Amino acid sequence: MAKRAVRYAVIDAFTSAPFKGNPAAVCLLDTPEDAAAGDEWMQSVAGEFNISETAFLSRAVDVESDCPTNGACGPRFHLRWFTPVAEVELCGHATLAAAHFLWSHGLVNSEVIYFSTKSGTLTAKRVVSSNIFDAIDVSSTKAQKFFIELDFPVLPVAECDALETLSIPVTLNGASIINVQKFGADEQLMVELSSAKDILNLQPNFEEIQKCAGGALVVTTSAPANSEFDFFTRYFCPKFGINEDPVCGSVHCALTPYWSKKLGKNSLVAYMASPRSGRLDLELIVETQRVLIRGEAVTVMTGTLLV
């Protein structure tokens, strides 16, 4: 029986260097048969890749009624994200990877892409620049790299009760804790630690994190005074089939308003302090309760799935 070939790429997000940042597999479902692939197949593919996230793209019909409320229209794609064990409702790094895939493979001409997701319409904007804040001559042959700006919703942060925080000091092996809060539909725990050294030296106990209240555990702290960053973070999510997510974009939908309030600024630079590491440039839009997440990406692998 003939097999269909589904194009894919593995892309490292929130980095300009291969084998850094956070890898995501992006699968393009560009035929009606591919687009009709079921949840079970997608989950099996994500398990086969066995990296933090696998994204599935299929083109949506561009119709006026499906445009954002500001009336802007452009290329639109359905986008879904799967960890090795479950589908998730919001993922930053795999969205950035999906946008990078579409632009770097010449599949869209627009500077903005709209993604229809379980978290509503998300946008990705291409920013061609030698410095993310300084425009350059895009006609130059040297203008090869580009940044991607994601427009995501703020995730409100709430206080935790005593029972939810009971196991955290043990899980973090005695690290000094300043504050504990929670966010998201699955009430992920966000723990502020006292120093960057605590973040960098942390040796998490994943069995205990698996038993913690909430879907995942985020640890964060303000960056050292001489750092180019505003805060450091690590993200542990064994319940999603990933012990440590190297660079998580969506968690910054909660971290950005949290650190914006603490530091008194809306433009922030975040460092994910996992062994792979990554940088995110962030901006809180207070009026619309949105977070702009900017970063780079690099393709490290391309191929086809035979299905």
Which residues are tagged catalytic? Answer: 53
Give CA torsion, residues 62, 64, 65, 66, to 10 deg.
Answer: 30
CA distance 288 to 20: 32
Cα separations in angstroms, 283 against 30, 100, 221, 270? 33, 20, 18, 11
Between CA 25 and CA 84 the distance in angstroms is: 11
Q: How many CA atoms lie within 13 A of 248 on its CB side?
A: 28
176 C-beta neighbours (distance < 10 Å), count: 12
Residue reference for tokens 């191929």: 303
Report the candidate in 172, 163, 232 with the shortest Cα–Cα distance to residue 197. 232
What's the angle, vertex CA 207, arms to CA 183 and CA 164, rounded to 5?
35
The strand ranges marked E within 120-203 are: 120-131, 134-135, 146-153, 157-159, 177-183, 188-193
DSSP H stretches of helix in the chain: 32-35, 39-49, 92-104, 162-165, 168-171, 196-201, 206-211, 252-263
Give which of 23, 100, 96, 128 is closest to 280, Cα–Cα. Answer: 96
d(CA 301, CA 277): 19
